[in-house]
Structure 1
Amino acid sequence: MSSDPPGFELPLRLLLGFRVLIDRLHAELAHQGHPDVRPVHGFVLQAVGRDGTTAVELGRRLGVTKQAAAKHVDALERLGYLRRATDPDDARRKLLQLTDRGVDSLARSARIFDELRAEWAQTLGSERLTALEADLRTMTGTTPFRLDAPGWFGGG
């Protein structure tokens, strides 16, 4: 009889590690003045990016329908993280852009993730964490962040 855990535990542990980090991130973001930001909002803000995008392209990047993307855009616009602007190259087209509040939330998120990584390094040891990250890169490829997770999880 093997002492190895069942195979299904690996993806659940990876997802739980993700969840632990994301929950801690959002608790700290709330403490730093961004209490309304939800995990899916991070994907949306990243997909809009510093250069902005259209609603159609946003849906494509997130792997969701234009309608699902619009729902998140409406929420983030109400919360002051996104704005709609006229495309300077085509007045009929609207661009989605990050507001200063949106940029601030992303900058704070990056700093908080660095702090959380440092905590993991303190707990696990720097060498073990570096090895874990290297092993995950080996198994998952070179792209660390896929924006289409909301669509993959069934978000639209």
Structure 2
Amino acid sequence: MAEPTPGYELPLQLFAAFRAIIDAAHADLARHGHAGVKPLHGFVFQAIGARGTTAVELGARLGVSKQAAGKTIANLEKQGYVERAADPDDARRKLVRLTAKGLDVLAVSARSFDAVQARWAEAIGPERLAALHADLRTLAPGDHFRLDAPGWFGTDR
């Protein structure tokens, strides 16, 4: 019988797999003209969503301050990935929306994630990959699509 793997290795292995996926996606993004996009930006783009959001809402979704969200928005706006526009439902609010360039990042990264998944299916077999997905759904707490990782990784916790 094999020795049990030390518990501390599991989070490191999960993070290494996550890192491999993200690194592959960012290599693809760079090849498609998006070299300035950072892993944090994926969380930002998802938090902005198709309808847009405000800086306050974005900060809350990411688990960061309004000021941190504002800096990120300004940086992405300068690069052409987001734009600020008046909220059609409330003229006092400014919405942050993805531009066509920002939407292209989402499309490229989606194709990259599919390609990584296909490579993993080749490496371990489609049945084991499906089982891995099922196991992770079982083990991940309730809302496993949380976007607050930037705030969670922050030093002010």
TM over 0.5: yes
Provide the aligned length of Structure 1 versus Structure 2: 155
Match of 1:19 in 2: 19
Name 1:115's counterpart in structure 2: 115
Question: What's 2:35 paired with?
Answer: 35
Q: Within 2, Cα distance between the matches of 1:145 and 1:92?
A: 30
Matches within 5 A, 1:23-102: 23-102=23-102
Q: 1:155 to 1:54 in 2, by over 3 A?
A: farther
Identify the residue that residue 6 of structure 2 maps to in structure 1: 6
The amino acid that maps onto 1:88 is: P
Where does the alignment leave 5 or more consecutive residues of structure 1 unmatched? none
Q: 2:131 matched to 1:131?
A: yes
Name whichever of 83-92 and 61-70 sits farther off: 83-92
RMSD (CA atoms): 1.4
Q: Give the fraction of aligned pairs with identical amino acids, expressed as a percent.
A: 60
4+ residue runs over 6 A deviation: none
Give the TM-score, by structure 2 length: 0.94
- CA deviation after TM superposition for structure 1 residue 133, in Å: 1.0
